[in-house]
Amino acid sequence: MATKHISSALPAPALSAAYPMANPGYGKRSAPGQQARTRTDFSLLPTRERYVAGFVDHLPEGAVMSVKQLAKQLPLYGQQAISTALNALSVAGHLRRVRCSVTNASDETRWVFRTFWSRTARDSEWWNAYLATENSTLAASSGPDIPASDAALPPLGGPAEEPPPAPEDPGTEQAPELPAVPRQRTPDQEPAPGAEPAPPAPEAATSTSPAYLALARLGRDDHRLTLSAADCAALEAQATEWLDRGVTVDYLTGALTAGLPARVDSPLGFVRRRLVDKIPPRLPIENARSSSPGPARRILMECTDCGRPGRPEALLDGLCRPCREAHSLGEEDATRTAEIADVKLRMSNLRELLKPV
């Protein structure tokens, strides 16, 4: 005779056949070394966290892990509840959110966002060691990480890559004979009489320095540090001094974007101040030659709650210090609320027992 197993855990909802997948390079990533799936997984978690964890655990690789999309698939809870549950799962050691620096086939670098998931709870030391291994693997790889069709960035030298404007009179026969790129006039050439002066040729994108490109991409990594072309030109000399001291572009980007405040009123002043305050020391030439450069940091962990990037060692339990303190206070409030409810229930039972029969 079959026996029905009764469990207090909410059953995980069935996966929709049309559950959206993230772009290549984004979404869910499963950590290695997980235990086999059993009926007692996540049994020590609260009901809401157990419900969300069971759903996330069954998602395929590369699935969208945004709070908004998870709330659409989990009708029992809203976005705020899902966000709080993900914070609790991060503290419990089941997930970490990171941003990875990847290079496409066009040798262009961008940051992609991934969520590493582990059915087996891991402590912070295990996650730090695993992410350090992933960082070394990405730094050692020389091929493209994501397809060019899915990760192509808009070129920074915009006007140089755009097709030339069409002539005013489309019916003339001289239009097909115009070159694709306007040729520069040599000094010994004289303009034809009556001809309009040719517009100056745009500066080639290859002449842009790595420091300028790193500053221009800050706004794409974090919108709070969006810089204009004039701002990048004004800060180019300071950023170049960083690169002259032997640091990489990834190191420069990480130093400028780590630990950003919630709001940056003046990106130009903020970046200039950091370029001055955090400039690395200049190593002696003999030491620089003898020491072998370590792998460039291509993985930055993010706070699960606010998304602030930083080194894994600085984000204990996957949360930054302000969010970790807020999470601790929330747990204390929840425990106090549960104790008050328990006392009220006991008093209600005592009143029922004291009533005359």
Tens of pLDDT, residue by residue, the chain (357 residues)? 444 444 455 555 555 557 788 887 788 999 998 889 888 889 889 999 999 999 999 999 989 999 999 999 998 899 999 999 999 999 999 999 988 877 666 667 778 888 999 999 999 889 988 888 888 877 666 444 444 444 444 443 333 334 444 444 444 444 444 344 444 444 445 555 555 555 555 444 446 888 899 998 898 888 898 999 999 999 999 999 988 888 888 888 888 888 888 888 999 999 999 999 888 887 665 444 444 444 455 778 888 888 888 877 788 888 888 888 887 766 555 556 666 777 777 777 877 887 776
pLDDT at 171: 46
pLDDT at 355: 78
How far from 171 is each of 167, 168, 174, 198, CA to CA, in Å? 9, 9, 9, 21
CA 134 to chain centroid: 15
Contacts of residue 271, defined as CB under 8 A and 6 or more positions apart, other chains included, come to 215, 218, 225, 227, 231, 235, 256
How far from 209 is each of 103, 206, 241, CA to CA, in Å? 18, 8, 12
Q: How far, in Å, CA of 185 to CA of 191, rounded?
A: 8
Q: Provide the β-strand partners of residue 327.
A: none
pLDDT at 96: 92
- Identify which of 258, 206, 267, 216 has the alpha carbon closest to the alpha carbon of residue 239: 216
| Neighbour count for residue 211 (Cβ, 10 Å) | 22
- CB burial of residue 289 (10 Å; 0-12, 13-18, 19+): exposed
pTM across the whole model: 0.48
27-30 and 95-103 strand pairing? unpaired
| Neighbour count for residue 317 (Cβ, 10 Å) | 19
